[in-house]
Structure 1
């Protein structure tokens, strides 16, 4: 590792750490994986330690650009792995409570519903959306980061923005009401109240479950309140000893089903106009490594 004369590695690390939460947030929005995001940020640090810092005018913007470029490369590398994945692929939950700085950075901006929408964008659209809509970088800097013309980047931003806005709820979702709805749904599911679960689901509700071939999950999205409730209660019936808790993940309240001390399922709710429109269930154990154990929540 090259360190410039007069600048210690400790000083470089201290400056880098001031931006680390932002960089984790940038990488996570692009790759949708906590592990990959942390690997990307570590690679960014290695790049940062080797550049001529006198030529860097805006450290934060510079690091965000490096991180996003590296995350884009990582996302492209994931393509083959995603194509071989069993069933739907959902982003990995992130436990922002582990790091208060990361929690502030990610609050209200990396909900599971938003990440699911970002998954439908092309890699370039996704990176452009993050750089422009989240971090408000100028188009010329985004173009330089992605190796595209400014006109092409403006078009990418326009397509991405239109796609994201088209998938957002029609009404502004009140966080308190969303939390209340989550609690009611959790109580109904936990008590086995089939009719109550159905009543909380919108007519066009959809459930997407990610088991990665390692846990029971639907290979395709499930549509409609009755079918969703039947599938959920079938899973619960196979695991009658589930204990359900609510915990903050991805800047929102998720409910977690535990088997013994380990998280078995993490569920995120998407709501609109007082009803649940989307349910995202992550069951692949490889994606639950940052979710707190039951004893950590109950202690």
Structure 2
């Protein structure tokens, strides 16, 4: 019976009297790491705030879930040009190897038995392959969308072709047009979900302002729809400290407004004045929806 390439690779790495990683149960993977030592080592906990180019796998490193480990591996392969493939990929284990087979790189990770964490249990971090600009399926649309969330928040009408060219120039990778389209859609969905969560916290923000600044003025207006959904309408805030500080300033008030761009379109209105040093002094500000062309026409007709 012929052995597969994986069996030949394992036979070279492990003697016959030593068990292989796949032969052990999921709860007891090979090269088991002493969890007591790992917990006391801060370097073993994945830090997502580290620059993406400096992220790399470390033996014993722990992650919240497999998706976080995959995201780190995407950063790792893009920064170094390694072409890695998932040989085993499910919610309990992850086996990663070099796609070309020329490298000895091998990463085995699985869930920890005593903690709700995903840990790298064995790692052979050796590469002797050349840099590759086509990184295969390990770099997916979710990774691209995560890196470009801020850009899509500022400007949604980003050309997919320009996005592909920028990815090649900035990261040195070739991505298909389909992946770029899915990345744009994924980034916009992330923004919308994030904004919904932020708007839902306005009530908590109101309560915190009233608790810490009792004399402050906070007004929130919403629109209740017949289907039971509640939508944001207007928001006004004036801190008590600003009201008290304005008493000794020049009696000059200016009202200015600007339009908000992006997913949450609207209008920002700010009331400012001049303080004793002739500097700009904020008094109050608010946000509301922008006036439509129909409302502008009706407003002129009433005049």
- Into which bin does the TM-score normalised by the smaller protein fall? under 0.3
**Structure with the largest fraction of helix:** 1
Larger RCO (CA within 8 A; separation ≥ 6): 1
* Bigger Rg over Cα: 2
**Structure with the largest fraction of strand:** 2
